[in-house]
């Protein structure tokens, strides 16, 4: 497959996203959690790569994002970093890493930026996180906000539902977006929000919105990589469009390999290494027959 060159090959940065919004460009963001995926996604020209705490659902098998730790995010950010050249690399602040005070939050974010070499961090929550966002920005850490459905709140929410469906809730979302922009966030994820509200927010702020289940009007779209390529299990939300079914492709490959091994079809001679004639001579092995060392 050819390397798909992005239309704008220059390195993406947090400030450049605002200019992209002004130019009306539609950018794309995907999650990645490991080196090979990061390379594929970056080389395909995806603009932002997020090491999301969705890691907990799709890679670590936790069932939700609450158990994900800073150490786990760090391991995956480092792997992804090694595979990314052009995209903006953003690391998620996992649940618990920004709940015990501003200094702890800065310390956690600094680890993601210094050790993980992420270029920005993402933090769930609206107005209640404004002080933290301001503090991080003050410490030269770029912050992506995240409002609407915030999966880290699952124990309070009880289920993953569309947010902002009443006039009051929609106004809250708008206020959250204004507050995050004023605090210095460079972009805001809108998750599971009615498209009309996402459009209002997108048109009301200068920083880009990044939609997931939030309709077509967001400046940037994001999906979880495993959902997009058919590597997830269970029922997919309606906003996911599967562009491949890697579960089937991988199952087929693994099954055929196992069958070939069991039937003696793998490995063939071309898939193993033969003894050079000189050594065969010395060992008195007849290369045309089954190898058998002559007793010395």
- Looking at beta carbons only, is 33 or 134 nearer to ligand KIV? 33
What is the rounded distance in angstroms from the CA atom of residue 12 to the CA atom of residue 48? Answer: 8
- Interface with ligand KIV includes 143 (CB under 6 A)? no
Q: Which of 177, 200, 201, 212 binds ligand KIV (CB under 6 A)?
A: 212
| Tokens 């509200």 found at | 197
Residue 268 beta carbon to ligand KIV: minimum distance, rounded to whole angstroms? 42
Q: Which of 17, 31, 32, 133 binds ligand KIV (CB under 6 A)?
A: 31
Contact 274, 287 (CB under 8 A): yes
Q: Who's near 60: CB < 8 A, 6+ residues apart? A: 67, 68, 72
Angle between helices 102-114 and 130-138 (to 10 degrees): 50
Q: Which of 113, 193, 214, 222 binds ligand KIV (CB under 6 A)?
A: 222
Q: Is 242 a catalytic residue?
A: no
- Looking at beta carbons only, is 14 or 222 nearer to ligand KIV? 222
Residue 267 beta carbon to ligand KIV: minimum distance, rounded to whole angstroms? 39
Indicate which residue of 191, 248, 271, 278 is catalytic. Answer: 191
- Interface with ligand KIV includes 92 (CB under 6 A)? yes
Q: Which of 87, 92, 86, 152 is nearest to 121 (CA)?
A: 92
- Looking at beta carbons only, is 99 or 284 nearer to ligand KIV? 99
What is the rounded distance in angstroms from the CA atom of residue 223 to the CA atom of residue 292? Answer: 57
Angle between helices 195-204 and 167-183 (to 10 degrees): 30
Stretch that binds ligand KIV, among 7-15, 47-55, 109-117, 178-186 (CB under 6 A): 47-55
Neighbours of 294 (CB within 10 A): 8
What are the residue numbers of the active site? 191
Q: Which residues bind ligand KIV (CB under 6 A)?
A: 31, 50, 52-54, 92, 189, 212, 222, 224
């Amino acid at each position: 497959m050819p390397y798909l060159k992005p239309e704008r090959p220059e390195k993406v940065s947090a400030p450049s996203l605002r200019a992209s919004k002004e130019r009306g460009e539609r950018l794309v963001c995907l999650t990645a959690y490991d080196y090979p995926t990061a390379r594929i996604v970056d080389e395909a020209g995806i603009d932002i790569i997020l090491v999301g705490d969705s890691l907990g659902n799709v890679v670590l098998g936790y069932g939700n994002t609450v158990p994900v730790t800073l150490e786990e995010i760090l391991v995956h950010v480092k792997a992804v970093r090694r595979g990314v050249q052009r995209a903006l690399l953003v690391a998620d602040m996992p649940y618990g890493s920004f709940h015990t005070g501003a200094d702890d939050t800065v310390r956690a974010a600094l680890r993601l930026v210094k050790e993980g070499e992420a270029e920005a961090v993402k933090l769930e929550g609206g107005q209640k996180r404004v002080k933290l966002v301001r503090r991080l920005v003050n410490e030269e850490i770029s912050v992506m906000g995240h409002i609407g459905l915030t999966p880290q709140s699952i124990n309070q929410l009880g289920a993953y539902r569309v947010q902002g469906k009443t006039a009051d809730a929609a106004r809250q979302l708008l206020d959250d977006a204004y507050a995050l922009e004023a605090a210095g966030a460079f972009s805001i994820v809108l998750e599971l929000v009615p498209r009309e509200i996402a459009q209002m927010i997108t048109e009301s702020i200068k920083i880009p919105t990044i939609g997931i289940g939030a309709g077509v009007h967001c400046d940037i779209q994001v999906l979880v990589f495993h959902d997009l390529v058919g590597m997830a299990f269970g029922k997919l939300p309606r906003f996911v469009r599967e562009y491949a079914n890697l579960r089937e492709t991988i199952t087929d490959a693994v099954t055929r390999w196992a069958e070939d091994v069991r039937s003696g079809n793998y490995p063939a001679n071309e898939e193993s290494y033969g003894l050079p004639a000189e050594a065969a001579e010395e060992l008195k092995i007849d290369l045309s027959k089954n190898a058998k060392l002559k007793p010395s």
